[in-house]
Every structure is written in structure tokens, then in C-alpha cells.
Structure 1
């Protein structure tokens, strides 16, 4: 996208592909009125819907619908915007799109020039990119538009709406303003050393830095919650065949998603489902049963187990299921131990929760089993069949993910936002260390404040490279 002419007018179908009641073709550029007259056969009043036919090159109606004209800069992109809202059939939309391109190249009888020279198809996200480049929205708000479209839970949608409204950006701007004030004081002291102003004492730099760090920590906490709402948690169900992984998936989902039989090894490949707990998306993967490669019954089972280990390597949390009815069998216990040895160690990857399943039929051995030396990590007992212990599992997953319930005003965020806030926090910590030195070290303090300021600027786009913009906007849908 970065290689495209950013000044050229653009056009695209702005609604999802497929059939629908309404479809929209959107045009953005400068000087759209001649094109609007050619398409609609009438003058359009700014910001007022006008119903009538959309005409082809012979003046015949292609469709009937609403036309809206928004003169720049009071539009979504900051440029002139024309929207044609017709019937949502894919053929109709493509006819309107082709007519826009055709009419733009035609010579206007009034001016003797092409109506809209250079009109081309929009790239993914290009309308929103123009809104950003024309200062209609900042980068965090632009990302919130895509996050609102992609939201998989109500909580994520509401949080994305708050970010789109500027809640996150205002927090970042307030932090940047505080840093700017500190930078001004530091730079003034560096520029006029003959004044012999004791900057650290009279300007209360340490107190300001402490308050700034505390405020940033609060924003960082909210951003982490927002990133969790957006990204969700990758949870993998692992364990030996017939430990109850598929039953647990079905119990958590409240539906028969995976085939469950008494036959070990029924699940031969990954089965995925996205659920939500308190608005947090959980992407749960039920994997093929794990055992030694030489015990696999065929090549299909070996491939299924390989994919299970791949899923475990990419997980945020692994639920390692143990069958309470078999924990006393030496061969079964050894196989569990072999699997546990290959799972991520604490702090080295995914969180591992040990789940002792089938509590409803294993009550006689339940107490004895749990009296044995327990594996490292959290241990829960449940019954996927009766639902006993499921709520405790749900809450444990949220706690392990770092989710704080009943938080108000959470805004949607991305991992890049969290990384930028962490970088700003590290620079502020170094600035605090320099401020605490009795010899001043104001030049180093000034540099750390500058770096913290720049890190925050990357969130809203105050400091953004073209390759970052390309990475962000090309992930949007075409027409947005």
C-alpha cells in the first residue's frame, strides 16, 4: 500500500461479499461532484440522502438506491466521499463499481475534462488509512475500527468502541503531555546551567516521575486487559487417549462439538472452538491423545500426536487431563509422567494446569490419587460428565490469564500497544534512577524521557514508520 499514490481517488465495495439487503460502493477523493452527477443524474445535497436510480453510460438505471455526498474535510477520510447504497447482490455491486471507474474516465460535457482522473480500486484498509493521514483519527483509533469489526465477544466490541471514541488515545496523550512538561524543565536546566537552579528539588522531578510511573502502570494494566479481550487465550487440552478431553471440550462449550466414545483414540486430529468466559475469548483446542510414538496404532495417529505437540508449543495454557480411574495403574502413571516431562516448565512457556477428570466415577480412588505426590503447577479435580468443578476451572483460567473481573472502562488494545507501554515504563524507570543521583545526570535523564515519549507516540501514530502503517492497514478488509 505504501507504494500507491495516496492522492489518487479510490473506490471499492464497502460491504461484505455475498448477498445482502443493502450493499455500498464508496468513493473517496477530491472533486467528486461531476462523478456524482453522472452516476445519479441529479445534484446531491451534502450530507442528505437522495433516493433515485444509479445510471449506466446510456442513462439507463442499473439499480435504485440512496446516494450520499460528504464534502471534505467533514467526512470519514477527510476527502470528498460519495456513497452509493443499493441492493446487496454481488452482481449489482460489481456493476456499480465498474460504472464508477467508467464514468470517472469519461469526459465531462461541462468542463471538457475527465470527470475524476486516476480513479482506482482501493487497497485493503485504504479508506481508514486516509482518515489517519488526514488527522481524522489517530493510529490507535484506526486499529480499533478493525478490532470492532473482528470482535468475537460483546465485551471486546464495547471495549473497541471505547478505543474508537478516543478513550485509549486520551490516556496516552495525557501521559505524553506530562512527559513533555518534564522534558521542558530538564532541557531548560541543561541550556542554562549558569542559573544554578537545583532542578531536582525545585521542580520536584522525582515526585513527578513517581506519579507519571504510577499513571503509566494503570494504563498498562488496562491495556493488558484490552489485549486479552482482543486476542483471547489459546487453551490446549492434552493427555492420554480416553482421558476425557473431548468430553471436557463439549462440557465447556455446552454442545456436542467433538465425538465422544469409550474407544481410546477417537479424536485423531485437532478440534477447535472459541468460547467466552466473562467476555474473554477462549480458543480451545482438543488434541489427539498422547502416548509414545511406538505405541501409535498407525501413521494417522502419529501425525495427530505430532500436531498435538505443535499446538501445545503455541498455547497460552495447557490443560493436562489425568483419568482418575486409571491413576493407580503403573503403566498409565508412567505414561503421564513421560508426557509431563515434555510439557513446558513453569516460566518457560504455556501455563500447565493438571486436571484430574472423571471424579464422578473415580470417587473411590480420588482421595488416594490426590494423596500421591502432585505434579508442579495448579491441580483441579472435576467431572466433565456431570459438570462438577467446571466453574472453578473457568475462574482459574481467567486468573492465570491475568484477567481482573468487573473492570469498568477497559479499552481494546493490541500486543504492540502493550510492548510500547512496557518500553516507555523501562525508560521512565531509568529516568528515575538518573534523577535519584546526586550529581544530576540530567543529560541521561533527558534522553530517557525522550525515548519514553517516542515509545508512547508509536501507539497513536505520532512516530510511525511507513512499514508499520503498511503492516497495520493491509490487515483491514477492502472497502474499509
Structure 2
């Protein structure tokens, strides 16, 4: 893809806010040697070498001293000339240095603009650019390793192979359109249907891997629901391994949603403890109960807690009626240590339930494993790459178009059109075919300086 930029010089602080030993300012633009000379009192940095220097204000006073690195385009992250100013990590010093860059003609970079320029200048494709942000935001070691795989092109390579094979099949189909009386026989002889079936199978494999990567990236949101005093807060503390929520014998202790993130087998799990669900005249408790239902609407899994000594009562049934039917749920029979129930999975009133004790932590490990099963996570492997919901959506649409092509393959014009639409859907992942407004949404979610 050729560059779409006539670049204005941009700059931004690339290190996190706050104090630190080192702070970095990144500058990207065209022909930055005069910019570097004005900033350093006339020094001409050697490409890809660290130059120790003072950084000067407009009046000639030194602002800071540190290292200047110069990466001439196109051999740089953005494909343009890039300067990195590495100074002391105090916010005042960095802001003074940033102000000097603005005085020299640069403007503040927008969120993700450095990565966006790298994409537009064909230094990386869109999936790789997104993996930069995913690597920064990774909440587990497994997610970080998978994001790095995507950054190095593992996901993109899979998509490129699929697109190339689709193009080859499209060329075969298009070649028959000039000979309508022979096209079906020609496609049969060329085994077009067999080639399409092979493509569909490969896409299914990529889809399965991408789905695992999306789980690693997004994690899952688990909401704890039930009546007051069934042990929701105790279970949250057991899952988190810490006293996150207040636990008492007084019903209604939790009056608001309490959130905590844990990691299970590399997967981020966002646990939401909620107010006990019951009829109440307490104004504050009513607000907490309303927030409980809001949390249920946004959850991936609902853990329905029941006191194992009482089972599913009429009040619990009323709660179940309000939980969205499409929301996966797991019945937790808590307080097994008090009821004497056997720890583990069981059948109770026609329901699959997990008996455990949040107080003693017995059965909590079984719950963690069951949660991963509910969202379809089969464990990270060396081949897993991080993926986003938009990637899964593009793969789903490509699969649908391939299925339609398979169904209508004897109608050659429709066959050819469905193959084209499948190719376009996959090409959205890497950015070969991407609406400009989508680019704006994607890169606006990056941090400043990337």
C-alpha cells in the first residue's frame, strides 16, 4: 500500500505519566535532521546510534540532557524520519521538552497516530498495528506472548494464505465466464468445489484459533447473583485469593457491585460481586439491586449461588426468570461444609450444579476449570495469536460467503460474487480492504505515543 500521508511532523510523550528514571519523547515526520540540530545546538545525529546531548530551549538554555536516537525513513517504525529523545522522567522536564518540539513546528500526535502512520506507510498491516496496543494492554503473560505473535505476523500470515488461495480460485472461476456453455464442466474438471472445501476447512481452523485468542484478549465477565447471605462475597474472595469484598452474617451487606480481575490459565476473568436480590424498602439497597441486573445484562457467565441447605427456592426461581435465557449460567451450591454435601459436580432437580464451600475454598479450583469450559476455552497453545471481535466478525462473514458459494456453485456468477465478498471480508482484517471510518475508530483507542 503506498503512503497516504504528506506528513506533518508529530510528537508525543511515549512513556507513561508520572515520575520515572527515563522519559521518552517520540517525533515522526519528514526530513528531521534540521529539527534535531535546532533541538541539540547543531548536532547531526548518526542514524541508529545513541547520541549523548543537551536539549535546548529557544533562548539557548538547556532543558535537559540525555540520548537522541535518529531513525531515517523509510527504515523506521513509521516509515518516516523518527527521533527519540530519552531524557529524565520527570513530568515537568518532559513537558518543557515537548513544548520545545511544538515550537519547532511539530504538533501533538493523536492517539495511535504513530502506529497509524506505520500502517499507512506499509510498515505493518492492520492486524499487526492492533497487536501493538494489545501487547501494551496484555493482562497476562499468555496474552502478551500471543500479542507478540500477532505483532510478528502470525495472524496476518494465516489470513494472507487464505486470501491468496481465494484469489487463485476466483481467477479460475472468472476464466470460465467468457465460455458459458463450458463453465460447469470446466469447474468440475478443475475441482473448484474441492478447492473451496479445502479453503473452508482451513478457515475453520483459523476461526478456532482466533476465538481462543479473542478470549485471551477480552477475558470474560462473570457475575455472581443470588439472594442475600448465600456467600457471593465469600466466593469472590476465594476466587481472588484476597479479602476484596466485606463478608458478614448480616443479609444485605453488599449493596453495590464490587469488581475484581483474576487470571485463570492465562485468561483474564472480571468477577462482579453484586447486591443480594430480594424485595426491600431500603433505598440504597434498591439502587444496588438495579446495578446487579445491569451487570447481569453485560456478563458472559452468571454464577447463580444457592445455599446448599435450602436448594432452589421460589425466590431463586424468580431470580432465574429475570436472567436472560441466552446467558450461560452455572448453579453453585455453596456452604457444602455446613450441609455435608459432597464437593464436585452433581445433578440436582434436573440441573447440573457445582457443590463447593467458599469459606473453606473446597471446590473453587473445580469452579475455575468449569468457567473456562463454559466460554469454550481449550487452553493456550504455541499457535494462538491474539484476535479482536472485529476479526471474528470478518471471519464469520467470510465463512458465510464461502458457504453460499458452495451452495450455489453451479450458478457461476453468484459463485464468483460470493468468493469476492469472502475475500473482501478477510482483507478487512489486515487492512487491504478497510473503510477509512473504521481506521479512525481502531487507532483512536490506542494510547498517546503509539
Normalising to structure 1: TM-score of the pair? 0.90
Comparing 25-34 with 404-413, greater Cα deviation is found at 404-413
Q: CA contact under 8 A between 2:347 and 2:353: conserved in structure 1?
A: no
The answer for the alignment partner of 2:124 in structure 1 is 137
The answer for the alignment partner of 2:246 in structure 1 is 259
The answer for the alignment partner of 2:99 in structure 1 is 98
The answer for the alignment partner of 1:358 in structure 2 is 335
Residue 160 of structure 1 deviates from its aligned partner by 0.4
- Once residues 71 and 371 of structure 1 are traced to their aligned partners in structure 2, the CA distance between those partners, rounded to angstroms, is 67
The answer for the alignment partner of 2:149 in structure 1 is 162
- Once residues 332 and 27 of structure 2 are traced to their aligned partners in structure 1, the CA distance between those partners, rounded to angstroms, is 55
Q: CA contact under 8 A between 2:223 and 2:299: conserved in structure 1?
A: yes
Residue 196 of structure 1 deviates from its aligned partner by 6.0
Q: CA contact under 8 A between 2:26 and 2:82: conserved in structure 1?
A: yes
Q: CA contact under 8 A between 2:277 and 2:319: conserved in structure 1?
A: yes
- Once residues 131 and 326 of structure 1 are traced to their aligned partners in structure 2, the CA distance between those partners, rounded to angstroms, is 61
Larger radius of gyration: 1
Comparing 219-228 with 51-60, greater Cα deviation is found at 51-60
Matches within 5 A, 1:252-401: 252-292=239-279, 296-327=280-311, 333-345=313-325, 348=326, 350-363=327-340, 373-375=349-351, 378-401=352-375
Deviations 1:268-302 (A, max 9, x none): 1000001111001110000000013xxx1410000
The answer for the alignment partner of 1:89 in structure 2 is 90
Residue 355 of structure 1 deviates from its aligned partner by 0.5
Deviations 1:370-421 (A, max 9, x none): 786244xx31110011111112111111011010125321000000000000
Q: CA contact under 8 A between 1:344 and 1:352: conserved in structure 2?
A: no
The answer for the alignment partner of 1:60 in structure 2 is 61
Pick the aligned partner of 1:453 from 423, 432, 442.
423
Q: CA contact under 8 A between 1:324 and 1:366: conserved in structure 2?
A: no
Residue 352 of structure 1 deviates from its aligned partner by 1.0
Change (3 A) 1:187 1:334: same
The answer for the alignment partner of 2:405 in structure 1 is 431
**What's the secondary structure of 1:361's corresponding residue?**
helix
The answer for the alignment partner of 1:111 in structure 2 is none
Q: CA contact under 8 A between 1:227 and 1:415: conserved in structure 2?
A: yes
- Once residues 362 and 401 of structure 1 are traced to their aligned partners in structure 2, the CA distance between those partners, rounded to angstroms, is 30
**What's the secondary structure of 2:255's corresponding residue?**
coil
Q: CA contact under 8 A between 2:5 and 2:120: conserved in structure 1?
A: no
**What's the secondary structure of 2:230's corresponding residue?**
coil
Q: CA contact under 8 A between 2:200 and 2:402: conserved in structure 1?
A: yes
- Once residues 371 and 224 of structure 1 are traced to their aligned partners in structure 2, the CA distance between those partners, rounded to angstroms, is 30
Q: CA contact under 8 A between 2:142 and 2:380: conserved in structure 1?
A: no
Residue 326 of structure 1 deviates from its aligned partner by 3.3
Matched, 1:466 2:436: yes
> Aligned residue pairs: how many?
444
**What's the secondary structure of 1:198's corresponding residue?**
helix
- Once residues 9 and 347 of structure 2 are traced to their aligned partners in structure 1, the CA distance between those partners, rounded to angstroms, is 72
Gaps of 5+ in 1: 105-118
Deviations 1:285-335 (A, max 9, x none): 00000013xxx14100000000001101111100000012333xxxx8121
The answer for the alignment partner of 1:26 in structure 2 is 26
Q: CA contact under 8 A between 2:196 and 2:406: conserved in structure 1?
A: yes
Normalising to structure 2: TM-score of the pair? 0.96
Deviations 1:236-260 (A, max 9, x none): 0000000000000000111110010
Deviations 1:130-167 (A, max 9, x none): 00000001000011001111111111111100000000
Gaps of 5+ in 2: none
Residue 59 of structure 1 deviates from its aligned partner by 2.3
- Once residues 122 and 13 of structure 1 are traced to their aligned partners in structure 2, the CA distance between those partners, rounded to angstroms, is 9
Q: CA contact under 8 A between 1:358 and 1:382: conserved in structure 2?
A: yes
The answer for the alignment partner of 1:417 in structure 2 is 391
* Cα RMSD, aligned residues only: 1.7
Pick the aligned partner of 1:216 from 179, 182, 203.
203
The answer for the alignment partner of 2:413 in structure 1 is 443
